[in-house]
Structures are given as C-alpha cells and as structure tokens.
C-alpha cells in the first residue's frame, strides 16, 4: 500500500514561508492531556519537551490542562495564584460549584502554567455525565472500566473549564484547544456539541484499535482496508473507547497525528485522513566542544563495563575492550516492540561470530519493565564480589606502593621478587577463589513473578543463549526502569544510552519511536524499522540513513524470516567495524540531531494551530497552505566520504583494520565533513516574538545556533 501524503508533509521544506503574520495577542492556547505533569507513557515526553518552545511563542496565554495527582504535584508543580484574571474568575467559579481546580507552574524547561483538575473530587457526577453522554451521542461506558470513567470525568470537566473561560471573558475570546489522545477527546466532542468559541485540534499518537490489533499478532498493515473496525473493537471490549476516539477525530477542526505510518492507520481505523502530520521532537543541547559527547560515551561505557565485570565474574573470559553493548528499551510489548525478532537475530549473530572466529563479544541489554519481586541474589552477589576484588587490589597496591617508596628513598632499585610477600599472595589467592562460581551468569537480573510464562525468558530458553563461555552473544534482561539510585546498575537511562554502542528497536508497531530519536541526539547509532514513525521520517529526510548510523529494517514488505536475516546482517556488519569507524559513525549520527530539534519540528504544531484558528474564526484568521511542488521533500545527502561499513568500504573510507588507522591515504576529515553537512541542512527558524507567529525560516538567513555543532 503506497504511503499517501497529508496536506503538510513531514519534510523540512514541506511548509512554505508565510507572507502573512498571525496576531496572537487576543488568542489563548489550552493544551489538554492526561499526561500533563503525570508520567504514564510517551505523550508525557512530547508535552514536556515541547513546552518551552510553545511557551516562548504564546507567553502568558499558554496553559496546559491535566489531572491533579498529588504525588506528582508535590515533586513537579509549584502551586500559585492564577495570573490571568479571566482564568482566575473561571477557576474560582468552578471551585465554588463543587470542583477542585489547581493552578501552578510545571517545573520543567519553559516553566509553563498548568491547570490541574481533581477528577476524583467530582466522581459524584459520573452517573449523570455518563447518562448525558448516552443521550448526546449514544456512547455507553461500562462501570468497570476505570480508565474510561476517568476519561468521562476529565472530558466534562475540561469542557466546563473552556466554556466557563469563554463566559468569563469580557471580549469574545479566540481560544485554541489541543487535545491529546482519546482520554482527553471527550472534552473536544463536548466543546463542539455546545458550540463553544473554541478552535479544536485532536492529536492521536497511536490509535487504540491499532495497538490492540498488533498486540494480537495479526497481519496488521496488509489488512488495514479489510478490518471491520466496529466488530474488532467490540471483540476486544474497547468499543466505547474506540467511539470516544473516533468521535473526537471527526468533530475536531484539525486532526493531526505523529507520523505518516500512523496517518495511514488513522485513515482506515478512524475513518478520517489527518490534516497535518506533527512529528515528535526533542530539545537538543549542543556541546561547545566538538567531541564532548564522545567523552561522555567513554565515561558511561566504563560504568557499564564495571557492571559487566561483576555480572560475569568467574566467566569473564572475553576482552571488554572488544565488547559491544547493544540494547532495546521501552514498554514490555514482546512482539510490538520487536523483542522477538531481536532475540532470533541475536541467536543467528552468535552463530556467525562463532563460525568466523570473531574476537568480538556482544552483550545485549533488554530494559523492559515487568513484574518482579526483588533483585536476583546471584546478580547482587556478582556486584559484591566485584567490589571485594577492587578493595583487595587497592589494599595490595597500597602495600606495594609503600615498599616501592621506601626502596627509592634509600637510593636502591627495588627487588621485584621481594615487593610482594607471602601475605600479599594469600590475600590475592583468596580473592581469586572467591570469584569461582558453579553456575553460568544469570540472564535476568531480577526474580520474575511469572518466570515460566515470560516471553523473553521463554524465547531465551528456546534459542539457548544462556551466557555460556562458548557464546559470543550474551543477554542481560533488566526488567525494571534504570535509576541512578539502583544498587545493581546505578545509572539513569540517558547515561546508560550514552554508554552503549547501538540501540536496536525492530518494532512492528511504533507510531513514532522516541527511543531511537534519543539515541540519535546522543550520537548513538540505532536500528529502526519502516513501520515506525521515526524510521519513515529518517528514510524521507536522509538519502543514505545507514551512512549516518540509522539502520532501517524492512518489516513492511518482507516476511519475518527475511526481516530477521536483514537485522542479523546489520548487527554482523556493525560488529565488523573498527573502533575508529564507530567513532566516525557516532560523529555523523550526532549531526542528525538538528533534524529532531523542536526548533524544526515545532513548526508543524504551529501550522496546526493556525489552521484551526482559520477554520473556527474565518472572519479573523485566514490560512492558505501551499502544496509542496515535489513530494520528495528535503533530503539529507550522503556524507562526503563512504559510509563506515566494512561491506561498503572503499579506499577513501575508514579502513577496517585498527592497525591502519594512521594510514597516510586516510582522507576522512571530521571538521570538513561536518561543515559540509551544516551547509546541507536548513537552519532552525527564529521563533517570532510574542504576538507574531511566522512559519518557516529565511532561506538565506544565518542562525547563531548553526555555529554550534
């Protein structure tokens, strides 16, 4: 099925420069989501990282609306009095009518204002509002679905908030309200039903039915046109949720989604083609020094190596300097996230490394939270043994150093045979005996509650990768989110990613994919698929993604076995790279971070808001987008030299052998290549001052940020 393009394509040249300017002085923006100051999933990251850019554009007229969760508010929100007099009257009126509405600043970048609504406090109205929902649009919500009940309460309360704000305004207001996902969608439906003066935007980050269908191991993308959506939703007991999502998609002025692949999905499952695609971005922080991120990689890698030393104590028969760290992370959806195909590819990679007598060892980390009851005793013991060995080595070193110092003081060269006495050897022998273990290093770092039925562990048992000495591929399953306070692996997620060599995300269902995007901005190569929003975005914008460390796995047009072979090939070729080639590739990967900066991608949200204003208030606002002349969009070119892959290397590319790193014919110049890449990419647009919103950047203009690479 061809990838149909939406009105405003996800390419940096997809939006023409705007001749007119939008007056936003009398407009106010409400962004409504269940994940405002309430981390549940990826939408939290979208809203949190985008807040700074939106706050700069809208200033005091930007308000995020979410649920009041006391544990989150205590650590993330500073409660204050409303600064906007209209909003203050609105909140006071709602509180006087039996609600609990709070106002404050969310303590993140940009410090945006937040309006937090206590949905539990108004639960007494649930039956009345559910009855009203049935009378209005014949959607019945069962009593046992707590999440849907919360959606009903949250929807009616947000519609009440927007309606009250309009009523309290002295002049007719121009309100823009952007609703994220089905949990917030009912508020949009109520706004349109009550004919409130609100320009509405509905953003779906993943369709409900799509996620459920893919979790059921169906051939999703080849059967999109054939699904009986009502029956499928009913069979999965989510028909009421699906109706709320579909109603929001059809009632909204502007319908958006996060990627082209999700736009196709929404067109078939929600029966409306998105008006605009709004890719997800990140706040990219550029380093003042060219290779500072390489230094951070080395520091984080050394901390991972320390963990590996403890985990594999007694079986540490491989060279850590020739050890590659791969990882997959995210929600524990075994098939959707591609953990199944990754494990199968690791088994095939293990065979290839063994038959080719490779000296490279691959350690694959699976960071996916599952139900556990505690750390594995053997894993904790490993870290204790490592620490004990370190303390022993330090003790012997101090004794050795003292004897060496005393020998040099009297002007004699030390007798090496007398530097270590019998007691020193006894201490060291005891330490060596302590490293002996009668079992293989554990695959899982925790005690699983459902060990016998866990998909990852069952797959490991099937492929037989038990961290034995003969295997060149080792597996570590860490079924818990990483934390710097963990006694096992004391690193936060960002630090861990920086220390790895490759992120592997062979997802079958991934509407966007923040994990590979985070790898890219940190200069870590990654494997994605052409069924993920990130993979499609990179394929569209980069002429040769693999040259920049973005490997795109074909899971759309190839079968599972073919895709697995392709993934194995990617991994094997990566293992054959020299250290210098990996450094070059990380430099190239990090330079792509500009493509994922909100300074670029925020323009699509701006376009969606302007489109909504023009549709809701045609007498005041006008929006006339132009179709791009070419469907190809912006294409980031191939790098100046050949991609650093052993399979593709030619004489002018980095050589495979580390011994040849100083070859005089080596023509790779990092600074020169980086300069060429900076010329090839358009600079981020300068954000307009409050009150003026102009899309696009001056083609010939210069941006100070472009000087920092």
Among 127-136, 581-590, 678-687, the range scoring the smallest mean pLDDT is: 678-687
Under a CB-based contact definition with an 8 Å cutoff, are residues 551 and 526 in contact? yes
Domains and CATH numbers, the chain: 27-206+240-282 (3.40.50.2000), 285-376+442-596 (3.40.50.2000), 388-439 (no CATH)
Average pLDDT rounded to a whole number, residues 632-638: 56
User: How far apart (Å, rounded) are the C-alpha atoms in residues 550 and 600?
Assistant: 19
Q: Per-residue pLDDT for 218 more than 90?
A: no
Q: Per-residue pLDDT for 479 more than 90?
A: yes
Structure tokens at 486: 């963990």
Average pLDDT rounded to a whole number, residues 371-379: 93
Of the ranges 2-11, 92-101, 669-678, the best mean pLDDT one: 92-101
In the numeric block, the tokens 């073919």 are attached to 562
Q: Per-residue pLDDT for 372 more than 90?
A: yes
Q: Per-residue pLDDT for 12 more than 70?
A: no
pLDDT for 613: 94
Q: Per-residue pLDDT for 648 more than 50?
A: no
End-to-end alpha carbon distance in the chain: 39
pLDDT for 604: 93
pLDDT range class, residue 15, cuts 50, 70, 90: very low
Count how many Cα atoms sit within 13 Å of the Cα of residue 305 in the half-sphere of its side chain: 16
Structure tokens at 300: 């984080």
Q: Per-residue pLDDT for 74 more than 70?
A: yes
pLDDT for 14: 39
pLDDT range class, residue 626, cuts 50, 70, 90: low
User: How far apart (Å, rounded) are the C-alpha atoms in residues 587 and 585?
Assistant: 5
Under a CB-based contact definition with an 8 Å cutoff, are residues 456 and 339 in contact? yes
Under a CB-based contact definition with an 8 Å cutoff, are residues 306 and 636 in contact? no
Tell me the pLDDT tens digit for each residue of 157-172: 999 999 999 999 988 8
pLDDT for 77: 96
Average pLDDT rounded to a whole number, residues 220-224: 90
C-alpha separations of 553 from 222, 533, 562 in Å = 17, 13, 10
Pairing of strands 473-478, 361-367: parallel
User: How far apart (Å, rounded) are the C-alpha atoms in residues 657 and 580?
Assistant: 9
pLDDT for 636: 63
Among 34-38, 290-294, 347-351, 565-569, the range scoring the smallest mean pLDDT is: 290-294
Q: What is the CB neighbour count within 10 angstroms for residue 656?
A: 17
Structure tokens at 47: 């809203």
Q: Per-residue pLDDT for 708 more than 90?
A: no
pLDDT for 353: 97
Tell me the pLDDT tens digit for each residue of 416-426: 777 888 888 88
Bigger pLDDT: 513 or 437? Answer: 513
Sign of CA pseudo-dihedral 52, 53, 57, 63: negative
pLDDT for 21: 53
User: How far apart (Å, rounded) are the C-alpha atoms in residues 663 and 649?
Assistant: 15
pLDDT for 4: 34
Bigger pLDDT: 423 or 643? Answer: 423
E strands, 100-150, where? Answer: 101-106, 113-117
- The alpha carbon torsion through 345, 348, 352, 358 (nearest 10 deg) reads 60
User: How far apart (Å, rounded) are the C-alpha atoms in residues 117 and 413?
Assistant: 77
pLDDT for 425: 85
Among 191-195, 330-334, 353-357, 638-642, the range scoring the smallest mean pLDDT is: 638-642
Average pLDDT rounded to a whole number, residues 423-446: 87
In the numeric block, the tokens 């590819």 are attached to 345
How many percent of the chain have pLDDT more than 70? Answer: 84
What's CA 29's distance to the chain center, in Å? 26
Among 4-8, 289-293, 315-319, 517-521, the range scoring the smallest mean pLDDT is: 4-8
Bigger pLDDT: 706 or 360? Answer: 360
User: How far apart (Å, rounded) are the C-alpha atoms in residues 45 and 594?
Assistant: 18
Among 348-362, 532-546, 592-606, 654-668, the range scoring the smallest mean pLDDT is: 654-668
Q: Per-residue pLDDT for 9 more than 60?
A: no
Question: Across the chain, what does the average pLDDT equal?
Answer: 86
User: How far apart (Å, rounded) are the C-alpha atoms in residues 228 and 172?
Assistant: 44
pLDDT range class, residue 634, cuts 50, 70, 90: low
Among 428-437, 492-501, 626-635, the range scoring the smallest mean pLDDT is: 626-635
Bigger pLDDT: 319 or 432? Answer: 319
In the numeric block, the tokens 């920049």 are attached to 548
In DSSP terms, 503 is beta-bridged to 327, 526
100, burial (CB in 10 Å: exposed 0-12, middle 13-18, buried 19+): middle
User: How far apart (Å, rounded) are the C-alpha atoms in residues 102 and 347?
Assistant: 53
Contacts of residue 538, defined as CB under 8 A and 6 or more positions apart, other chains included, come to 528, 545, 550, 552, 592, 595
pLDDT for 172: 86
pLDDT for 576: 96
């Amino acid at each position: 099925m061809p990838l149909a393009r939406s009105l405003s394509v996800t390419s940096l040249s997809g939006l023409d420069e705007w001749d007119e300017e939008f007056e936003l002085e009398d407009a106010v923006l409400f962004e409504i989501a269940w994940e405002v100051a309430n981390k549940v999933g990826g939408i939290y990251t979208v809203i949190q990282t985008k807040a700074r850019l939106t706050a700069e554009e809208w200033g005091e007229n930007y308000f995020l609306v979410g649920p009041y969760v006391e544990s989150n508010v205590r650590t993330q929100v500073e409660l204050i009095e409303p600064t906007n007099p209209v909003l203050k009257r609105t909140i006071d009126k709602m509180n006087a009518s039996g609600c609990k509405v709070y106002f404050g600043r969310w303590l993140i970048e940009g410090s945006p204002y937040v309006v937090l609504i206590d949905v539990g406090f108004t639960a007494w109205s649930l039956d009345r509002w559910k009855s009203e929902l049935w009378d209005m649009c014949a959607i019945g919500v069962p009593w046992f679905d707590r999440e849907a009940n919360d959606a009903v309460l949250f929807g009616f309360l947000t519609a009440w908030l927007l309606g009250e704000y309009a009523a309290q305004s002295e002049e007719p207001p121009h309100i823009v309200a952007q609703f994220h996902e089905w949990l917030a969608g009912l508020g949009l439906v109520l706004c349109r039903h009550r004919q409130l003066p609100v320009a509405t935007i509905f953003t779906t980050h993943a369709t409900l039915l799509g996620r459920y269908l893919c979790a059921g191991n169906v051939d999703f993308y080849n059967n999109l046109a054939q699904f009986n959506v009502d029956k499928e939703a009913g069979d999965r007991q989510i028909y009421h949720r699906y109706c709320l999502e579909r109603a929001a998609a059809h009632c909204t002025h502007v319908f958006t989604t996060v990627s082209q692949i999700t736009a196709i999905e929404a067109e078939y499952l929600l029966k409306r083609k998105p008006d605009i695609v709004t890719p997800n971005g990140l706040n990219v922080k550029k380093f003042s020094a060219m290779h500072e991120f390489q230094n951070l990689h080395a520091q984080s890698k050394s901390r991972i190596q320390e963990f590996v030393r403890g985990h594999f104590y007694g079986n540490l028969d491989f060279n850590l300097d020739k050890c590659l760290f791969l990882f997959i992370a995210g929600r524990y959806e075994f098939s959707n996230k591609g953990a199944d195909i990754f494990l199968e590819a690791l088994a095939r990679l293990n065979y290839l490394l063994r038959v080719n007598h490779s000296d490279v060892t691959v350690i694959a980390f699976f960071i996916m939270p599952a139900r556990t009851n505690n750390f594995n005793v053997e894993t904790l013991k490993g870290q204790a043994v490592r620490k004990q060995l370190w303390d022993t080595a330090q003790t012997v070193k101090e004794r050795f150093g003292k004897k060496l110092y005393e020998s040099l003081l009297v002007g004699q060269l030390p007798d090496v045979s007398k530097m270590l006495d019998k007691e020193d050897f006894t201490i060291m022998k005891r330490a060596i005996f302590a490293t002996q273990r009668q079992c293989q290093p554990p695959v899982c770092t925790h005690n699983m509650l459902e060990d016998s039925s866990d998909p990852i562990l069952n797959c490991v048992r099937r492929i037989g990768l038990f961290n034995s000495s003969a295997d060149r591929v080792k597996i570590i399953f860490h079924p818990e989110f990483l934390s710097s306070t963990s006694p096992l692996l004391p690193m936060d997620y960002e630090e861990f990613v920086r220390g790895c060599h490759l992120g592997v995300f062979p997802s079958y269902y991934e509407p966007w994919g923040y994990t590979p995007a985070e790898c890219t901005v940190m200069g870590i190569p990654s494997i994605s698929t052409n069924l993920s929003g990130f993979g499609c975005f990179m394929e569209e914008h980069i002429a040769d993604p693999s040259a920049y460390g973005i490997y795109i796995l074909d899971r759309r047009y190839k079968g599972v076995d073919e895709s697995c072979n392709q993934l194995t090939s990617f991994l094997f070729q990566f293992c054959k790279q020299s250290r210098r080639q990996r450094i070059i590739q990380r430099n190239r990967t990090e330079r792509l971070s500009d493509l994922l900066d909100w300074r670029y991608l925020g323009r699509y949200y701006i376009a969606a808001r302007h489109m909504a204003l023009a549709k809701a208030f045609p007498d005041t606002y006008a929006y006339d987008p132009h179709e791009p002349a070419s469907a190809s969009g912006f294409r980031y070119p191939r790098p100046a030299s050949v991609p650093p892959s052993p399979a593709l290397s030619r004489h002018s590319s980095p050589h495979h052998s580390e011994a040849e790193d100083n070859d005089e014919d080596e023509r790779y110049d990092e600074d020169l290549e980086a300069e060429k890449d900076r010329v090839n990419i358009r600079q981020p647009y300068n954000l307009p001052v409050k009150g003026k919103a102009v899309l696009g950047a001056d083609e010939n203009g210069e941006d100070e940020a472009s000087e920092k690479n």
